[in-house]
Chains A and B, each alone.
Chain A
Amino acid sequence: MKGLRRDPERTELRALRRRIPLEGARILEVGCGDGRLTRRIAPLARAVVATDPNEAFIARAKALTPASLREKVRYRVAAAETLRLPGRRFDVAVLSWSL
Chain B
Amino acid sequence: MVHALTQIHRAIRPDGIVVDLRPDRFAGPRQPRPQLPRICWASNGRERPQGTLDKTPENLQRHRAATRAVKRIVQRGLYRLEGAETFQFRYHFQTLGVFEWRLRTVWKDSFLRPSLYRRLQALQQRSRTGHIVVIEPVRLSILRKR
Using CB atoms and an 8 Å cutoff, list the residues of chain B in contact with chain A.
1, 3-5, 7-8, 10-14, 16-23, 66, 69-70, 83, 85, 87-95, 97-98, 101-102, 138, 140, 142
Contacts and interface: CB of A to CB of B under 8 A. Distances in A.
B91 A5 contact: yes
A18 B87 CA distance: 12
Contacts of B140: 15-16, 19
Query: Looking at chain B's contact residues, is the secondary structure mostly helix, strand, loop, or mixed?
Result: strand
A46 to B, nearest CB: 13
A81 interface: yes
A80 B92 CA distance: 29
Contact of A9 (B8, B19, B21, B90): B90
By secondary structure, the A interface counts as mixed
Contacts of A2: 94, 98
B8 A93 contact: yes
Contact of B23 (A5, A85, A89, A97): A97
A7 interface: yes
A92 B20 CA distance: 11
A15 B85 contact: yes
A97 to B, nearest CB: 5
Contact of B11 (A16, A18, A82, A93): A93
B11 A91 contact: no
Given A8-B92, A99-B69, A20 B22 contact: no
Contact of B8 (A6, A16, A83, A97): A83
B127 to A, nearest CB: 16
A65 interface: no
A3 B19 contact: no
A72 B62 CA distance: 33
B55 to A, nearest CB: 14
